[in-house]
């Protein structure tokens, strides 16, 4: 996570957004939720239960988690609970360097800063693979596999995570087949007045389990409270918290995202039982320090931009 401090508002450029493709290159310019109170049941009429997941509209299948238990303090999640969770890997590596969230058959949301490494942008999208359907990175799991990347799109004006615009759309080379263990999360409505302050959110990832510690081989999760932006701005003196950011963390410390969790989801469970992506892990000061919430990209602020990058 970047700890740099910048003071600026995030604005979209009229210039084309930045694209990283599978050709070696330097950087060049180139869900609605329903309002029901319960999750509708899954009814299959074929011998293959996965057929249901691939014949329904996206709004019908998104955000349906598997078994779930409340997690306090950061613990291993139940395998399959978050079927939209993906890991970003360098080709040939076992571990993941960032998280991401599946939002469609061919698209993943993550953080832009994940592709700025060692003072330069990722030059070739094909150097990166997306691990889907995984829980334990050490194991061979039935639905876990690495998928090739076709392109990575980043807002033109992005400079640093602490200035905002820390979002990227990854296009996969091929469309995935959905199943109970692999399907997308719901996106928030773009016109909602809900800032989610006071809600309990969930963070998941394979990042470091403590500040200065080691990454986790199994998917971890933690419940965190969403802060209002003014309180977050007051607590994080080294940052300028702007409206396109959303903060979350435990005021007493001990629960939050850490290095390696960047790009992963901050999500809340809606009244209809579906999970909704409200944030993308972006930056912060250390890991889970008292009165130091993590800063996430507020997804609802980009809900109109995201579809323009899905082509």
At CA 206, angle to CA 254 and CA 137, rounded to 5? 145
Contact 201, 278 (CB under 8 A): yes
In a domain, 40, yes or no: no
Same domain, 126 and 163: yes
More confident residue, 8 or 268: 268
Buried b or exposed e, range 26-60, using 16+ CB within 10 angstroms: ebeeebebeeeeeeeeeeeeeeeebebbeeeebee
Residue 262 among the catalytic residues: yes
The 10s digit of each residue's pLDDT in 38-77 is 444 433 333 456 678 888 888 888 999 854 454 445 788 8
Q: What's the DSSP call for residue 51?
A: H
Distance CA 16, CA 25 (A): 16
In a domain, 217, yes or no: yes
Residue 183 among the catalytic residues: no
What pLDDT does residue 246 have? 95
The 10s digit of each residue's pLDDT in 27-38 is 333 333 333 334
Same domain, 156 and 207: no
Same domain, 178 and 94: yes
Same domain, 176 and 205: no
Tally of domains in the chain: 2
DSSP SS3 for 269: strand
In a domain, 50, yes or no: no
Same domain, 180 and 240: no
Residue 135 among the catalytic residues: no
Choosing from 31, 81, 104, 113, which is the catalytic residue?
113
- Supply the range of the domain harboring residue 252: 199-300
Average the pLDDT over each of 79-93, 102-116, 239-253 and give the range with the smallest value.
239-253
Choosing from 166, 208, 250, 301, which is the catalytic residue?
166
In a domain, 54, yes or no: no
Same domain, 121 and 145: yes
CATH of the domain at 262: 2.40.10.10
- pTM of structure: 0.83
Same domain, 234 and 269: yes
Choosing from 126, 215, 216, 262, which is the catalytic residue?
262
At CA 85, angle to CA 77 and CA 50, rounded to 5? 95
């Amino acid at each position: 996570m970047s700890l740099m401090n910048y003071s600026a508002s995030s604005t979209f450029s009229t210039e084309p957004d930045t694209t990283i493709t599978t050709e070696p290159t330097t950087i060049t310019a180139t869900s609605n939720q329903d309002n029901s109170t319960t999750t509708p049941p899954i009814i299959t009429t074929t011998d293959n239960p996965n057929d249901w997941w691939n014949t329904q509209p996206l709004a019908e299948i998104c955000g349906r988690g598997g078994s779930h238990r409340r997690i306090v303090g950061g613990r291993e999640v139940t395998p399959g609970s978050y079927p939209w969770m993906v890991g970003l890997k360098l080709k040939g590596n076992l571990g993941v360097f960032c998280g991401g969230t599946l939002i469609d058959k061919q698209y993943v949301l993550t953080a832009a800063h994940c592709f700025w490494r060692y003072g330069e942008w990722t030059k070739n999208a094909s150097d990166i693979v997306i691990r889907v359907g995984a829980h334990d990175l050490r194991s061979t799991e039935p639905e876990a596999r690495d998928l090739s990347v076709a392109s990575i799109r980043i807002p033109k004006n992005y400079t640093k995570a602490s200035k905002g615009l820390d979002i990227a759309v990854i296009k996969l080379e091929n469309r995935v087949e959905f199943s109970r263990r692999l399907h997308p999360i719901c996106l928030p409505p773009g016109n909602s007045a809900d800032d989610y302050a006071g809600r309990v959110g969930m963070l998941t990832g394979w990042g470091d389990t403590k500040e200065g510690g080691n990454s986790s081989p199994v998917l971890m999760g933690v419940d965190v409270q969403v802060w209002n932006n003014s309180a977050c701005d007051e607590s994080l003196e080294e940052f300028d918290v702007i409206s396109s950011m959303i903060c979350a963390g435990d005021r007493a410390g001990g629960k939050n995202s850490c290095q390696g969790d960047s790009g992963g989801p901050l999500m809340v469970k809606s009244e209809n039982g579906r999970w909704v992506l409200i944030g993308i892990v972006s930056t912060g000061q250390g890991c889970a320090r008292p009165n130091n919430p993590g800063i996430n990209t507020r997804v609802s602020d980009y809900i109109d931009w995201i579809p323009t990058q899905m082509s």
